Amino acid sequence: MNGMPILKLTGAAVQRIRQLREKSGKPEAGLRVSLKEGGCAGYEYDMQWAEEPKPGDDVVEQDGVKVYVDPSALLYLLGSTMDYKEDKLKAGFVFDNPNQISACGCGESVQLKPVDPDVVAKIHG
């Protein structure tokens, strides 16, 4: 693979995925990231445990954790950084996504633009 990384994970995200995986009782599971339509802005990030990637998923392995990126989400997630943040009111995974155009006021959904498919072709080249 060359060029832009599909998805980067911060240390906090890696640590939280590892903690959640241990609690899940599925020591080999990966976290599957996809997008679903919804919310005020158009898309919501969706995360589910998966024993293995589905056909077409891109696999991101970092520091002992696996994240599977759904092929339908790839054009919208390419170049993003996944982080885990906690504050007094909420805790959760957040995405620093260069493809994000806007977000709703509550931060639960985002408006995204796809990257040029030629960029994906170069990565999978």
- At 7 the three-state DSSP class reads strand
Q: Range of 13's domain?
A: 7-124
For residue 83, the domain's CATH number is: 2.60.300.12
Per-residue confidence band for 80, with pLDDT thresholds at 50, 70 and 90: very high
Per-residue confidence band for 112, with pLDDT thresholds at 50, 70 and 90: low
Q: What is the pLDDT of residues 59-76, one digit of tens each?
A: 999 999 999 999 988 888
Per-residue confidence band for 4, with pLDDT thresholds at 50, 70 and 90: low
Q: Which of 15, 1, 8, 2 is nearest to 98 (CA)?
A: 8
How many structural domains are present in the chain?
1
Question: Average of pLDDT values for 108-114?
Answer: 62
Residue 1 domain-assigned? no
pTM recorded for the entire structure: 0.77
Residues 6+ apart with CB under 8 A from 70: 32, 33, 34, 35, 54, 56, 57
